[in-house]
Structure 1
Amino acid sequence: MAAKQTTSSLSRLSLPAKMVFGLILMAVVAALYFVVFFTDVDGQIGQAIAREQQLKGDLQKAEEAKVAYNKDVELRAEKQRVEREQKKVLPDEAETPSFLSSMQGIASISGVTLAQYKPEDEVAEDYYVRVPMSLELSGRFHQIARFFYGVGQLDRVINIEDIEMTVVPNQKKDDATSDVILNVKCLATAFRAKRADDATKGKKQ
C-alpha cells in the first residue's frame, strides 16, 4: 500500500520535480559510494605510508649494519696486519734457519765473510726468550760496519753483543792505503715470544 502511495506521489510530481528528485537520489548514491570508496582508499594509503616508513627504517638499519660490518672488517684486517708485523719482530718460534739466512744474506751484501756460526742455548726472560747465535766474520772495517747496520734494518729485532775485533795477522798490503782485514767475533741475539713451557728454561739468575 505504501509503495503504491509512493509511486502515486512520484507520478503526481511535475517533470522538473522528478528531475530534481532524481538528481538528489544520484547525489546520495554517489556520496555513499564516495564515502565507502574513499574510506577504503584512505586505509590503503595509510597502510602504504606505514609500510614505506617501515621499509625506510629497515633500510637505515641495513645501512648502519653495513657500515658497522665494513668497520669490523677493516679493524680485523688492521689487527691481522699488526699481528703479522709483530710476528716479524717477535715470532712465536725461534726460526733459526730464517735467522741464519738473514745473517748470511747481510754478510753477502756487506762483503764480509761469515766464517763460522753456532746457535746457542735459548734464555727465557720475563716476557720473551732470547735466541742467541755466535758469529765469526772477517772483512774491512767499513764492511763490518755495513754488516752491523744491515742487521739493524731487519724487521726482526736482532741485537749484536759481545763484539771482539782483532786484526788478521800477516796481511799483505798492496799499498799504504790498503785497509786492514779485521776478524770479528760477536753474539747475534734474536727474540721470540714466550710460551708456557719457557717459564724456567735457561733463565738468567
Structure 2
Amino acid sequence: MAALKLKSAGSGLESLSLPGKLAVGLVFTVMVAAAYFVVFYGEVESNISAQHQLLQQKRTELDKAEEAKKVYNKDLAEKARREQLALKQKKILPDSSESPAFLSAVQTVATISGIKLTSWTPLDEEPKEYYAKVPMQLALAGKFHQVAKFFNGVGQVDRIINMENIAIHVIKGASESSNEQLSPGEETVHVEVECLATAFRALRAAEGGGGKRRKGTGRRAKKK
C-alpha cells in the first residue's frame, strides 16, 4: 500500500509539465532563501546595527573628550596667565617689606645715574587699610642733572616707589674744586639731596589694616 502511495506521489510530480516543475523549483528556492535570510542575514544585520550604535557612542565620547581637552587647555592657559600676573603684581606690590631688595633697587638706580647714595635709614612701616607704607630716608649727592636722572629712574623700576619731602642743597664751590673739563659758558651744579623714598607692600590676610607700626629693618650708612 505504501509503495503504491510513493509511486502515486512520484508519478504526480513527474506528471507536471515543465512550467509546473519550474514553478515548484522557484518556490523551493524562495523558501531556502527566506530561511537563509531569517537564520543568517538577520543575525548579521543585528550585529551591524549594534556596531553602528557602538561607533556612534564612541564618536560622541570622542567629541566630549575633545571638548574637555579644549576646556582643559583653556583653563591651563588661564592659570599660567594668572600666575604670571600674580608674579608681576608681587614685584610691584609684594606682601613683605623686602627692605634689602628695596634698598638694592635704589642703589642700582643711583649707580646708573652716577650719583652717590651717602646714607639710608629704614623707617617704621605705616599700615593702611589694604596696604602698608615702607618708608626709607635717603641722602645722596651728585650733579643736578644726575639727580634728575635718578628720580626718573626710580619711577621706572618694577616696584612702586614714591619720592617725597625732597630737599635740594647746592654745594658751593664744588664745580671749581672738581677736575671736570667744561665747555665755555657751561656750568655744572653739584647738589646734596635729602628725600623720603616710600615703597608699598600688600597686607596679608592675617594682618589687619591700620594696625601698629612695624619697625624698619636694615642698616644706616654714615655720611661721609
Match of 2:172, SS? coil
Q: CA RMSD in A?
A: 2.3
Match of 1:192, SS? strand
1:13 aligns with 2:22: no
Decide which of 80, 83, 88 is 1:77's aligned counterpart: 80
Name the CA distance, whole Å, in 2 between partners of 1:25 and 1:7: 22
Deviation at 1:19, TM superposition (A): 6.1
Corresponding residue for 1:179? 188
Count of equivalent residues: 203
Deviation at 1:34, TM superposition (A): 1.8
Name the CA distance, whole Å, in 1 between partners of 2:141 and 2:71: 57
Name the CA distance, whole Å, in 2 between partners of 1:126 and 1:54: 57
Give CA deviations for 1:150-204 in whole Å, capped at 9, x if unaligned: 000011100000000001234242665231210000010000111334541229x
1:132 aligns with 2:141: no
Q: Mapping of 1:137-176 within 5 angstroms? A: 137-173=140-176
Deviation at 1:22, TM superposition (A): 4.2
1:202 aligns with 2:213: yes
Structure of greater relative contact order (alpha carbons < 8 Å, 6+ residues apart):
2
Give CA deviations for 1:73-98 in whole Å, capped at 9, x if unaligned: 01111111111111011001111111
Name the CA distance, whole Å, in 2 between partners of 1:151 and 1:119: 17
The alpha-carbon distance between structure 1 residues 117 and 157, as it changes in their structure 2 partners (threshold 3 A), is same
Stretches of 4+ aligned residues off by more than 6 angstroms: 1-4
Identity between Structure 1 and Structure 2 (%): 45
Contact 1:10 1:18 in 2 (8 A): no
Corresponding residue for 2:47? 44
Corresponding residue for 1:26? 29
Deviation at 1:42, TM superposition (A): 1.7
Contact 2:175 2:190 in 1 (8 A): no
